[in-house]
Amino acid sequence: YVPSVHGLPLFLLRLATEVEWTNEKRCFHGVCSELGSFYAQTDTEEEALSAHVQHVLFPAISTLLIPSTSFVEDGHFRSATKLSKLYRTFERC
């Protein structure tokens, strides 16, 4: 996972302003906290979350998920359709 570069300016700003650099223990805690916030950064707006699911999660799942043959045979996983087939169907309309 690589966080979005759009959050980098805010991360650097918070790293410079929110971390207590004079106390070693608090410094490590602050840096770790800001790193965690940066890597866990997701937009809370519904549209942004929907776009993330549509353009990042679903393509990753469709290309990287390879179910075992027993799951396919048992019917746990079933291929509904492929996007390329849908394009062919709607091109005819």
- Percent of the chain topping pLDDT 70: 88
Half-sphere exposure of 26 (CA within 13 A, CB side): 6
Indicate whether this model's pTM tops 0.85: no
Mean pLDDT of all residues in 6-21: 87
Closest residue by Cα to residue 37 from 55, 19, 50: 19
Give the pLDDT score at 25. 94
Other CB atoms within a 10 A radius of the CB of residue 36 amount to 10
Res 74 pLDDT > 90: no
- Please provide the average confidence, as pLDDT, over all residues in the chain: 80
In the chain, the amino acid numbered 48 is: A
Instruction: Tell me which range, 26-30, 43-47, 58-62, is most confidently predicted by mean pLDDT.
Output: 26-30
- Percent of the chain topping pLDDT 90: 22
Give the chain's radius of gyration (CA, Å). Answer: 21
Give the pLDDT score at 93. 61
